[in-house]
Amino acid sequence: MKTTRNTAAKTAVLEIFGKSKTALSHTEIQKQIGDLCDRVTIYRILDRLVNDDIVHKIVNLDGTVKYAKCHHHAQRVHIHNHAHFSCENCLEITCLENVKPSYILPHNYKVNDINFTLSGLCPNCLNSNN
């Protein structure tokens, strides 16, 4: 079985996730990393972290891809069925951990994964009425 190593670059990426309250794109991470590692390395680190269920991948309505730390605690079957909120003004994406959609599906569909993204204005941008 494959072991995963703790490298300087991976540690740096995890630290960046730790400090951020919102989801981050590859580009945003790269800006913070600077030249500590190659941009390809960041892609590969993100792949690994997603694979190890340490972060999850979020695809926004506009097609932008972001990543956020997982906050679940060792669930056996792991579906990221919580909602994500994408602010049209500040462009930040936040996980709404406790918002779970309920729905009724037609027969004969087997669901393995769910993406539920809401977009609009976040509390911050709603208050500063612009």
Partner DNA sequence: ATTTTAAAAGCAACTATGTTGCATTAAAAT
Partner DNA sequence: ATTTTAATGCAACATAGTTGCTTTTAAAAT
The span from the CA of 3 to the CA of 40, in Å, is 20
Which partner, its own copies, DNA, none, binds residue 5 by CB below 5 to 8 Å per kind? DNA
11 token code pair? 């540690």
Which position among 14, 16, 22, 25 is part of the footprint of DNA (CB under 7 A)? 25
Q: Which of 61, 66, 54, 80 is nearest to 119 (CA)?
A: 61
25 binds, among its own copies, DNA, none (CB under 5 to 8 A by kind): DNA
What residue type is 12 in one-letter code? A
Q: Which residues bind its own copies (CB under 8 A)?
A: 59-63, 65, 83, 85, 88, 96, 98-123, 126-127
Q: Are 50 and 24 in contact (CB under 8 A)?
A: no
Sketch the per residue contact string, 60 through 99, with DNA: x for CB under 7 A, - otherwise. Answer: ---xxx----------------------------------
Nearest distance in Å: CB 49, DNA: 10
Residue 77 DSSP symbol: S
